[in-house]
Structure 1
Amino acid sequence: MSGFKIKERRLAFQRVKKSALHCCVPFCSNSSRYNSEISFHSFPVDTAVRAQWLINIRRDIFSPTKTTRVCSRHFHPGDFVVTAAGLRRLQKGATPVLFSWNEYTLPTLRPNVWERKPRAESPNVNLTPFLTANSESEMETAAPDHDHCVTPAMANEMANENEALHRKIRYLQHQLEVLQLRTRFGIQRFAGSDEHIRFYTRFASYKHFQAFWKLVEPAVNTKMVRISNAKAASASSSEFSQPTTKLQPIDELLLFLMHLSVGLPLRDLAERFDINRTTASRIIATWTHFLYQLLGSQRLWIPRETVRAQLPPEFSAFPDTQVVLDCTEIFCQTPSSLLLQSEVFSTYKSHATFKAMIGMAPHGAITFVSGLYAGSMSDREIFKLSGIANLLTPDMAIMVDKGFLVDNLAPCKVYRPAFLSRNTQMSREDVMQTQSIARLRVHVERCIRRVKENKLFDKEIPLSVCGSIEELFNVACFLVNYQYGPLVKAWATQQ
């Protein structure tokens, strides 16, 4: 045995050279390799019949080729013709109709009404041109149309049923309206949630929101300028008209406040309120212009006597203070022009910004808002251009930060922390006054923080909306006087 070598047996799979035909119908696994009883047929050349084949086999995004086949199992037996050579051919116009989803059978046609219901035989009536009265009466009695009549009791019962159905319909309609009101995104959806009102509108509660709405509602239908184009920036391109959207005016106000307070984009607002994005843009532009004109026309600047009557005890050392001033900045998109970049670039923020000056009365109300200026502009220049100097009188005083070098511009007294030069030392009085001014000036910074809590100002302002951002920023400042309470709880009794 050792002299013989046993040859190792190895098994190898051989390829079948003969190609097989397969059926292209979904869920059909028929193949010509394993079934010689089934014939396979290519798609017809006729365009209409070919399209019907594609519809019947239910293949999405499918384009048959020369080798694409459909097996004979999907055709009626009568669709085939056997040639003299014994080959099975399809008749012209035959289409596949038998599939696994209809269990390879077709439902029987439903008989029509005449076949389903047996009919009484019609009586033989002599239809002569001249019928006698007796024959007419015989026809009427032979095949009467109805064999019943409506009694008064039946009529009353039907009326009661009809009334009950009407009541049920009214009830279901009311339930449908309540359901739609609950599912629709609007102010009524948040009527019982002050937390949602504070989040979406910055108003303290639903009651405060309704109080503000009662103030602006009379002017909505009389003074509101409907922006017919969201890109229009002035009233000349607008028209006085009633609301053209399906939203109620109070829901339009909610939409505007959500855009300002939460910073929701137009796409999100359009999805929530089930409107078009263009419509949402027009609503925002309309309410921005409307509130800017309405709230800005109110008296922001408070007379000196009223300010002193509402003066908090903390300002007793500075009783003639009329307004506390400070500047704030919001980020904007960096322009492509180098010249514009140098104008809007702020060295304080190291970014392109818009800059505005805000004035607060000692008791916490915003009484002055300037326009938006380039971020590179100094506080002194903004004070000069804002026009606040025209509102001040010699018997007033303003309280500013160290950067406001406006002593020669303001026609009144200026309370400002003292500067510490290199070779001098502040006196005890200067130190005490600086600390007092710093403690009081922090209130205007808290007031500005309320304005900038609106999430719209957290991101860069696109240059495409620079035409309306000034009005929008002013409206945000105006709304602070309505949305929040006093800056200090102890001042609440002073109002």
Structure 2
Amino acid sequence: MPVIEGTDVNLSYNDCIVEDSSNLVDGDRDQVQVIIAELRQQLEIVTEEKNQLLVENHKLMEQTDQLAASLSCLNVELHNMKTEKAEQPKCSLLAEITTDDKMTLFYTGLNSFKLFTGIFKSLKPALRSDTRFAATLEEQFLITLMKLRLNLSRRDIAYRFKITIPTVTSYIEKFINAMFIRLPVALLRKPDREAALKTLPLSFRAQYPNVNYIIDCTELKCETPSNKIDAVSCYSTYKSHHTSKFAIVSTPHGSVAFLSKAFTGRATDVDTIRKSGLLEFIEPGDEFLADRGFINEGDFTSLGAKVHIPSFKGRRDQLTGKETERSRIIANERIHVERVIGNLKKKFMVLRGIVKIKDFCTDYYNNAFISKIFVTCCCLMNAQPTIVPQY
């Protein structure tokens, strides 16, 4: 660009273009003027858009500040609601059974809330408490006992305590495992022989004063396994249903002293007794009552124990008068173990339901979950007064 003398140094861009354009022909000058006009128009549009974006950005920043303030208020409200929810019990049932032993018996199978508290305190050292739990440990214990006592569905319990179904399952499994480990040590054990003889019912004192135990087997109905071999193994011709079988030993005064692990319903009574570990339970001098064909008498006599069983007719036409009377007396005394089994299933309805196939799964120590449930129910029943009369 040529230097123009006598002019201001700070010339505008447009002036320079006009001065430069003086050397152009008329056609080129018109074209440049059109381009300049278009550029000016585009500049105005961009400037207007920029101003609009600045306004919108300002509005968005104001909205962001408002949302941040609202979020802070909501967090405070959420914290307050969680605090209030944690302070209030999930279910008022626990507070209600505290002062009502009849309600305690109905929902838990325990005859008093004092017993409920005592068993819970014995389990508490083995449990971990956490404020993040949806229910307190005491409520979890109540949930487990309600499942054993009433056999409520997990969904029912979840609705009652306002928790999820998987949470109900985890609570039940946790407390069943805890009771299976801690309760049998005190509540499922061999009684002292001298103390047992002193507490014999009068009927035993007259007929069998030295009998320590009564043996029987019981079966729980289960689902039909999908595997045909398993289905055949579990089918019980006696119950006409797929079952699991347990050997149970009770004392004459009505407490459970021994319970085997679960066997398939097809297993014979003799095989169940032999494989149950009962033979290791026997001590020399023990006396048992059992049904005919139920056990192999030689298995007991070889260990120094004595077994009283009803007489066999064999190939004879009928039993003698003495044998008939003896068999009648044994049957009358053996009914105590059947009353114990009946009371167990009456008190804990979970034993009357259909056992699920998954409950036969065993843990590291080969204990099926249904075996843990049955042992737990026996321990809870042993913690209460016996139903066998002392006369």
Regarding TM over 0.5, the answer is yes
Q: Answer yes or no: is the 8 Å Cα contact 1:329–1:375 preserved in 2.
A: yes
Partner of 2:174: 286
1:253 to 121, 134, 141: 141
How far apart, CA to CA, are the structure 2 residues paired with 1:477 and 1:460?
18
1:287-306 correspondence to structure 2 within 5 Å: 287-298=175-186, 300-306=189-195
Once residues 163 and 288 of structure 2 are traced to their aligned partners in structure 1, the CA distance between those partners, rounded to angstroms, is 48
- The alignment status of 1:265 with 2:138, answered yes or no, reads no
Aligned with 2:183: secondary structure? Answer: helix
Normalised TM-score (structure 2): 0.70
Deviates more, 1:258-267 or 1:457-466: 457-466
Residue 452 (structure 1) aligned with residue 318 (structure 2) = no
Displacement of 1:203 after TM fit? Answer: 1.7
Q: 1:358 aligns with which of 248, 273, 286?
A: 248
SS at match of 1:408: helix
1:470 aligns with 2:371: yes
Question: 2:318 aligned to 416, 425, 437, which one?
Answer: 425
Q: Which one of 263, 267, 281 corresponds to residue 373 of structure 1?
A: 263
1:193 paired with 2:100, answer yes
Q: How far apart are residue 464 of structure 1 and its match?
A: 1.9
The answer (yes or no) to whether the contact 2:259–2:375 under 8 Å persists in 1 is yes
| Alignment match, 1:397 | 287
CA contact (8 A) 1:270 1:276 kept: yes
Residue aligning to 1:347:
237
Equivalent-residue separation in structure 2 for 1:373 and 1:297 (angstroms): 23
Q: How many residues of Structure 1 are paired with residues of Structure 2 in the alignment?
A: 294
The aligned amino acid for 1:306 is: A
Q: 1:242 to 1:309 in 2, by over 3 A?
A: farther
Spell out, residue by residue over 1:459-483, the C-alpha distance to the aligned partner (whole angstroms, 9 max, x if none): 321112222111111111111112x
2 CA distance for matches of 1:185 and 1:355?
A: 38
Q: Which residue of 2 aligns with 1:326?
A: 216
Structure-1 residue corresponding to 2:386: 486
TM-score between both structures, scaled by the size of structure 1: 0.56
Q: Is the 8 A contact 1:243 1:249 kept in 2?
A: no
Distance in 2 (alpha carbons) for counterparts of 1:243 and 1:452: 36
Quote the Cα distance in structure 2 between the aligned partners of 1:184 and 1:270: 11
Amino acid in the other structure paired with 1:255: I
Pairwise CA distance, 1:260: 0.9
Q: Which secondary structure state, in structure 1, belongs to the residue aligned with residue 297 of structure 2?
A: coil
* Structure 2: gaps (5+ residues): 1-83, 362-368
Alignment partners' CA distance in 2, 1:212 and 1:444: 26
Deviation at 1:218, TM superposition (A): 4.3
For residue 203 of structure 1, the aligned residue among 90, 99, 110 is 110
- The within-5 A match list for 1:178-189 is 184-189=91-96
d(CA) in 1 for partners of 2:88 and 2:314? Answer: 69
Q: CA RMSD in A?
A: 2.2
- In 2 relative to 1, CA 302–463 (structure 1 residues): closer, same or farther, beyond 3 Å? same
The reply on whether 1:434 has 2:327 as its aligned counterpart is yes
Runs of 4+ deviating beyond 4 Å: 240-244
AA in 2 matched with 1:326: D
Alpha-carbon separation, structure 2, partners of 1:435 and 1:479: 32
Amino acid of the structure 2 residue aligned with 1:251: E
- TM-aligned CA distance change 1:218 to 1:370, over 3 Å: closer
In structure 2, C-alpha distance between the alignment counterparts of 1:464 and 1:185, rounded to whole Å:
32
Post-superposition Cα deviations, 1:167-191, rounded to whole Å, max 9, x if no partner, equal xxxxxxxxx99x966x833321223
Partner amino acid for 2:333?
L
Partners of 1:251 and 1:429 in 2: CA distance: 57
Shift of 1:415: 0.9
Shift of 1:366: 0.9
Provide the secondary structure at the position in 2 that maps to 1:214: helix
* Structure 1 residues 326 and 462: alpha-carbon distance in aligned structure 2, compared to 1, 3 A threshold: same
Cα offsets for 1:116-147 (capped at 9, x unmatched): xxxxxxxxxxxxxxxxxxxxxxxxxxxxxxxx
- SS of the residue aligned with 1:367? strand
Query: Deviation digits for residues 148-202 of structure 1, max 9, x if unmatched?
Result: xxxxxxxxxxxxxxxxxxxxxxxxxxxx99x966x83332122343332222111
- Label 1:188 to 1:489 Cα distance change in 2 as closer, same or farther (>3 A): farther
Deviation for aligned residue 1:242? 4.3
Distance across 2 between alignment mates of 1:301 and 1:347: 32
1:140 equivalent in structure 2: none
Separation (CA, whole Å) in 1 of partners of 2:293 and 2:132: 49
Moved more, 311-320 or 418-427: 418-427
In structure 2, do the counterparts of structure 1 residues 441 and 260 end up closer, same or farther at CA, with 3 Å as the change threshold?
same
Q: Measure, in 2, the Cα distance between the counterparts of 1:398 and 1:389.
A: 12
In structure 2, how many angstroms separate the alpha carbons of the residues matched to 1:243 and 1:313? 53
Do 2:308 and 2:330's aligned partners in 1 also have CA atoms closer than 8 Å?
A: yes
For 2:97 and 2:120, the matched residues in 1 are separated by 20
Determine which structure has greater relative contact order: mean sequence separation of CA pairs < 8 Å that are 6+ residues apart, divided by chain length.
2
Q: Which runs of 5+ in 1 are unaligned?
A: 1-175, 225-239
The answer to whether the aligner puts 1:461 opposite 2:361 as a matched pair is no
